[in-house]
Structure 1
Amino acid sequence: METSRKTLSFSDAHHHLLVMMLTFIQGIYSMPVPTDVPMCTASDTAHYSLMFTGKWTQAAFPKQYPVYRPPAQWSNLIGVTHSYDYHMWQSNEFASNGVREFAEKGEAWTIMKEVETAGEQIQSVYGILSAPAVVGGTGQMNTEFEVFARHSYLSFIVRIVPSPDWFVGADSVDLCEGDHWKEKVTLELFPYDAGTDSGFTFSSPNFETIPQDRIMQITSSFPSHPANSFFYPRLKHLPPIAKVTLTKIKKMNQIISLPLEPTQSNLLLTGNEIEDELIDTPLDCEVSAWSPWGLCKGKCGDSGVQHRTRYIIMHPANNGAACPLLEEERKCFPDNCL
């Protein structure tokens, strides 16, 4: 009888464990969407136009503003419509190989393959969109795209040209609000560092970051280095370097395809078009450290004069602080007099 009770006890425990495992497996496959993710219940698909406007002017960003070889401009825009559980890129996370190649070189092949793979394996991506590159810091580009309830989010990326690995973009903008689609969304864009290249200036040579850093937003004080092209210690915040306007439209006008070359129809905007967007960022004069004191010039037995100099690293702009004196002198007594 004792043996029978032990056998029964073991059987019950085994059955209980099996029930727990089945319950756990069922829970995985019936796992609900997290409660903090808003559910989109819009019944119809929606069509949107996307208008990208560059606000990268020499007045707003005077420090090391690239005028030639190459001048300030924007790469083509690459974007995706997707579900809540997909991210093309995220601030404070590591960039994928595709984001790295696009941010550093403007090469879109790998990031497009990553997007396609996500669509095939986890069905989290619905569509890919693109817009042609902009030849100029204040040009425009536009495209159209479609979204529906299960894939109501938009993400995109645009490379800053020239730059080490800097870009602008948006991560997971939800265009749905309950049972309806938003009519218009405006996004002010600020520069991000992909964390893959350690260059400080727009024209820095390639200098791989080892180990790779996380994607971080560039601010007026970060990275905190005076050589950085976006370092403006007098500013609390950088002005937006670009803007995207998303507008709900009635229907799609064209098939979306990936452009390979910049277009000539999106050159600099006229003064009237950007008049209300202009921002003058003050840029203080920057000078080098003092040189060593020069030789003491004078007659033996009398006091002489010696000089030291420094030079201008950055000229002031937009009413920034003027340059200080570049030369100093002081009295001295000649050495090695006979």
Structure 2
Amino acid sequence: MDTTKMTLPFSEALCHLIVLMLTLGQEIHSMPVPTDIPMCTASETAQYSLTFTGKWTQAAFPKQYPRYRPPAQWSNVIGVTHSSDYHMWQRNEFASNGVREFTEKGEAWTLVKEVETAGERIQSVYGILSAPAVVGGTGQMKTEFEVFARHSFLSFIVRIVPSPDWFVGVDSIDLCDGDHWKENVSVDLFPYDAGTDSGFTFSSPNFETIPQDKITQITSSFPSHPANSFFYPRLKHLPPIAKVTLTKIKKTNQIISLPMEPTQSNQLPTGNEIEDKLINTPLDCEVSVWSPWGLCKGKCGESGVQHRTRYIIMHPANNGAACPLLEEERKCFPDNCL
């Protein structure tokens, strides 16, 4: 057999080897670099102002609204500017250890180390940004940051406090549009479950999810359990629990200001960031199951009466369905009469 015809030239064999290595590399790395995302060609850097606005009111989210120990509030913002091949978190993917610690405990050290390590390994991270926590469900926090063409994406995460492992945030907002920067970007935020704790309510005790679930968005019907703090079966969609506004800052010779202190008010702050009307979400009354029928009370030989009761689990709010009767009776005949 003539084996020379089966032998590839050296240059062609080398090409095959490189292709094979690239293929294997794509299988090993969970997040290959996307090739279908338009490249940013903006020639200059851009500065942005980030305004986070909490909309977590008792009127909009009346079910189990936390008022004490601790009351409804928001953690500090942890964000990063990056390229398209990095993700701080992703819907329908597993949360990292850093995201787990932040969403469960509000501890950011591991998450920041993960961001720094990613920047050293794949050079896809440009900078970390943060803003102070909001003391209240409806306050604001602001900060400023810089982006440039190679790192035109923004991701951030804010913990819902109190909660088992719930958060809001954005994954990879691109602030670049071809050869220029977007002037304004506004995004309504909805709750997510990090998939690391199995609690149903804001104040649930720690109950680790084994095995770990993927990050999922919490909706008015998912998880489909009446104990869930966001379960509103009458609603098609939850109202936004927060909002982020990104505004391009006009370049001046001034130094970028430090992050502004958050508002500490139970009222929604006034300003251009607040355009939505206050939302009143109806909350229907919830009652327990009936108790067993009680003893039949009456004279022997005559019909008697027995009762059963139930109690209120959740009082109605915002014109929700009223509570049904909590006591019921029926006729009966006494047993064991002498």
Quick check: TM above 0.5? yes
Q: Is the 8 A contact 2:138 2:268 kept in 1?
A: no
Question: Deviations along 1:42-70, whole A, 9 cap, x unmatched?
Answer: 00000000000000000000000000100
Shift of 1:23: 5.4
Question: Deviations along 1:90-146, whole A, 9 cap, x unmatched?
Answer: 000000000000000000000000000000110000000000000000000000000
Q: Is the 8 A contact 2:142 2:262 kept in 1?
A: no
Residues in 2 aligned to 1:221 and 1:209: alpha-carbon distance in whole angstroms: 20
Residues in 2 aligned to 1:116 and 1:264: alpha-carbon distance in whole angstroms: 26
Shift of 1:16: 7.0
- Give the match for residue 160 of structure 1: 160
Name which of 245, 265, 268 aligns with 2:266: 268
State yes or no: 1:230 paired with 2:226: no
Q: Is the 8 A contact 1:73 1:135 kept in 2?
A: yes
Shift of 1:39: 1.0
Q: Where do residues 24-43 of structure 1 align in structure 2 (5 Å cutoff)?
A: 24=19, 34-43=34-43
Change beyond 3 A, Cα 1:59–1:133: same
Shift of 1:38: 1.3
State yes or no: 1:325 paired with 2:325: yes
State yes or no: 1:96 paired with 2:96: yes
- Give the match for residue 141 of structure 1: 141
Q: What SS does the corresponding residue of 1:277 show, helix, strand or coil?
A: coil
AA aligned opposite 2:318: N
Residues in 2 aligned to 1:290 and 1:27: alpha-carbon distance in whole angstroms: 65
Question: Deviations along 1:178-235, whole A, 9 cap, x unmatched?
Answer: 0000000001000000000000000000000000000000000000000000000000
Residues in 2 aligned to 1:276 and 1:46: alpha-carbon distance in whole angstroms: 28
Residues in 2 aligned to 1:33 and 1:114: alpha-carbon distance in whole angstroms: 18
Which range moves more in the overlay, 146-155 or 35-44? 35-44
- Give the match for residue 72 of structure 1: 72
AA aligned opposite 2:40: C
Change beyond 3 A, Cα 1:142–1:36: same
Q: Is the 8 A contact 1:134 1:267 kept in 2?
A: no
Q: Is the 8 A contact 1:165 1:197 kept in 2?
A: yes
AA aligned opposite 1:24: V
Q: What SS does the corresponding residue of 2:76 show, helix, strand or coil?
A: strand
Change beyond 3 A, Cα 1:148–1:18: same
Change beyond 3 A, Cα 1:327–1:25: closer
- Give the match for residue 281 of structure 2: 281
Change beyond 3 A, Cα 1:55–1:206: same
Q: Where do residues 31-70 of structure 1 align in structure 2 (5 Å cutoff)?
A: 34-70=34-70
RMSD of aligned Cα (Å): 2.4
Residues in 1 aligned to 2:208 and 2:17: alpha-carbon distance in whole angstroms: 49
Number of equivalenced pairs: 327
Residues in 2 aligned to 1:191 and 1:21: alpha-carbon distance in whole angstroms: 47
State yes or no: 1:315 paired with 2:310: no
Q: What SS does the corresponding residue of 2:53 show, helix, strand or coil?
A: strand
| Structure-2-length-normalised TM-score | 0.91
Q: Is the 8 A contact 1:48 1:145 kept in 2?
A: yes
Residues in 2 aligned to 1:13 and 1:68: alpha-carbon distance in whole angstroms: 74
% identical aligned pairs = 79
Residues in 2 aligned to 1:275 and 1:184: alpha-carbon distance in whole angstroms: 15
Which range moves more in the overlay, 167-176 or 265-274? 265-274
Residues in 2 aligned to 1:271 and 1:171: alpha-carbon distance in whole angstroms: 26
Change beyond 3 A, Cα 1:57–1:175: same
Residues in 1 aligned to 2:39 and 2:8: alpha-carbon distance in whole angstroms: 41
Question: Deviations along 1:229-257, whole A, 9 cap, x unmatched?
Answer: 00000000000000000000024744768
| Structure-1-length-normalised TM-score | 0.91
Q: Is the 8 A contact 1:141 1:266 kept in 2?
A: no
AA aligned opposite 2:95: A
- Give the match for residue 121 of structure 1: 121
- Give the match for residue 202 of structure 2: 202
Residues in 2 aligned to 1:255 and 1:113: alpha-carbon distance in whole angstroms: 25
What runs of 5+ residues in structure 1 fail to find an aligned partner?
A: none
Which range moves more in the overlay, 245-254 or 189-198? 245-254
Residues in 2 aligned to 1:151 and 1:90: alpha-carbon distance in whole angstroms: 18
Q: Which has the larger radius of gyration?
A: 1
- Give the match for residue 29 of structure 2: none
